[in-house]
Structure 1
C-alpha cells in the first residue's frame, strides 16, 4: 500500500470514528499531516463519495458512498458460504445430519443440508418449510428475537401436535424459549417428527440479529443419554459463534 493510500485511509478512519464530526483543523491535528496534504486527500475522498463536507457546521462526515460499499460487502457474505466449512466439519466429526435454515414468518426454510451416512428418513430438504414452534432451528431463532417480534409470531401461531411431544401451549412455548435463551441452544425432543431429535443454535448477523439457525439431527436412539448435552451442544455452540463472526457479529463483552 502506498503512503498516499495509507494516509487517505487514515483520514477516512478519523472522520468515521470521531465522537463528533471533525473540522479541518481537528483532522490536521489528529493526523499530524501538513494542511496541504490533508486538503488534497480529503478532496479525493470527497470525489469518491467516502467523506462529505457539511457547509453549515464546517465539519466532515462519512460519505454516502460508504453505504454502497458496505451493502456490497454484506451481500457478499452469503450465509450458506459462511456456514459451509463448519457444517462439513460437524458432519465429519459427529456423523450426523447437519441443517442450515432461515426464519420466514412463522416458518423456517432449509437453505442447506448435509446428510449423515446413517440411513435416516427425515422431513427436511433444501427449500422445504418447517414450523417454527417445534423444530430445533425454529425455536433457537425464536428464542433470540426481541420480545416484540417473538410475541407477534407466537400470537399468530395455530400450533398443531405433530407428535405427542409437540409444544402447543403458548405458555409452555414461552417457558421453553426462556430455557433456550439461557443455555444458548435448542433441543427438539421428537417434537416435529417421532423418533427424531436435534440440537440447534441461532446464527447472528453484524447487527446481532438472529437471521438463521444451525442444527445437528439424528434418531432418538443415536442422540440418547448425555450425547446431546455433553458432545453436541458445545460443538454446535462453537460453530454458531464462528459462523456469526464470519457474518460480522461481534459478541458483547462480559
Structure 2
C-alpha cells in the first residue's frame, strides 16, 4: 500500500527560516526515526531540497543521525529546547489551573481565547465531566461576530477599526440566531460594551450558550477572553448571569498572572526623552 502524501503546503514559507521551522513541525509529529526518502515520500518536496534542509538542522544540533547514517532522530539541542519550553511555561500552567478551578466551580466547559484577525482563537480549554458537551479543542477558531468573546474584542475597537474589519468579514449565518446584519451587530456590540460581558446564544452552534468576559488589562486593550460554554438544556441566560461573579474573579486572576509575567520596566523605558 502506498503511503499518502502530506500536503506540501505544510512546509511552505516565505523565507528559508520559515520553511525550516515548518519542516521541524512535521518532524516533531513523528514518534520514530525517519529517513530522507521517507520525508520525500511524505511531503513531496525534491530530495536535494530536503537533503539541504536536513543538513542545516543536523549542523545546528536540532537533528542527529543514527549509527546506520541513514536514519534521523531528534538532536540534543531540539530536546533541550522542548524541555526548557515545558519547564519555563509557568504562565500557561498557572492560567490552566485557574481555568480548571473555574470548571470545577461552575460545572461547565470553559476556555481562554484571543482575537486573531477576524476570528477568535481558543488558547486553552477545560472540558466538563458532564456527559453532554461540545468539543472545541485549543487551536479551534470561531468567527468573531458569532462568539461571545468575539463581541467583546469587537467592542474594544474604535468605530473606524471595527467598520474596517467588519466590512471585510463575511458575516456567515451558522444558526437562526446568528447576527448577520451590520447595523444589528453594531447595536449588539454597543450593548456588550455597556454591560462588560457578552452572550453567544446559540449563534455559532445550535444548542450551545456561552457567556464571556475579558481579562482586564490595566494598561489598555485586553486580548484575553474567558468564557463558559454549556448546552442550553443545562444553562440559560439567567443561570449564566449567576455564574458571572465567579467568571469575573477568574478573569481577574488570569489578568494578574499575565501582568506578573511582564518584565519589569528598565530605567531607560521609564525615562521620558525630551527634545
TM-score range, shorter chain: 0.5 to 0.7
Q: Aligned equivalents of 2:103 and 2:147: distance in 1?
A: 19
2:258 equivalent in structure 1: 247
Give the aligned CA root-mean-square deviation in angstroms: 2.2
1:125 equivalent in structure 2: 137
Shift of 1:165: 0.3
Runs (5+) with no aligned partner, structure 2: 1-87, 261-275
Shift of 1:207: 2.6
Following TM superposition, the consecutive aligned residue runs of length 4 or more in structure 1 with deviations greater than 4 angstroms are 76-79
Of residues 161, 171, 195, the one that matches 1:149 is 161
Q: Aligned equivalents of 1:225 and 1:137: distance in 2?
A: 16
Q: Aligned equivalents of 1:226 and 1:188: distance in 2?
A: 13
Comparing 84-93 with 126-135, greater Cα deviation is found at 84-93
Of residues 182, 203, 225, the one that matches 1:191 is 203
Comparing 144-153 with 123-132, greater Cα deviation is found at 144-153
Where 1:112 maps in the other structure, the secondary structure is strand
Shift of 1:78: 7.3
2:53 equivalent in structure 1: none
Where 2:130 maps in the other structure, the secondary structure is coil
Shift of 1:155: 1.8
Q: Aligned equivalents of 2:173 and 2:203: distance in 1?
A: 8
Aligned length: 173
Where 1:198 maps in the other structure, the secondary structure is strand
Where 1:100 maps in the other structure, the secondary structure is strand
1:108 equivalent in structure 2: 120
Alignment deviations for residues 28-74 of structure 1 (CA, whole Å, 9 cap, x no partner): xxxxxxxxxxxxxxxxxxxxxxxxxxxxxxxxxxxxxxxxxxxxxxx
TM-score, normalised to structure 1, is 0.62
Where 2:223 maps in the other structure, the secondary structure is strand
2:37 equivalent in structure 1: none
1:51 equivalent in structure 2: none
2:63 equivalent in structure 1: none
Runs (5+) with no aligned partner, structure 1: 1-75, 250-254
Q: 1:243 to 1:183 in 2, by over 3 A?
A: same
Comparing 207-216 with 81-90, greater Cα deviation is found at 81-90
1:98 equivalent in structure 2: 110
Of residues 177, 183, 193, the one that matches 2:189 is 177
Indicate whether 1:164 and 2:180 are aligned.
no
Contact 1:145 1:210 in 2 (8 A): no
Q: Aligned equivalents of 2:104 and 2:160: distance in 1?
A: 39
2:58 equivalent in structure 1: none
Where 1:137 maps in the other structure, the secondary structure is helix
2:249 equivalent in structure 1: 238
2:78 equivalent in structure 1: none
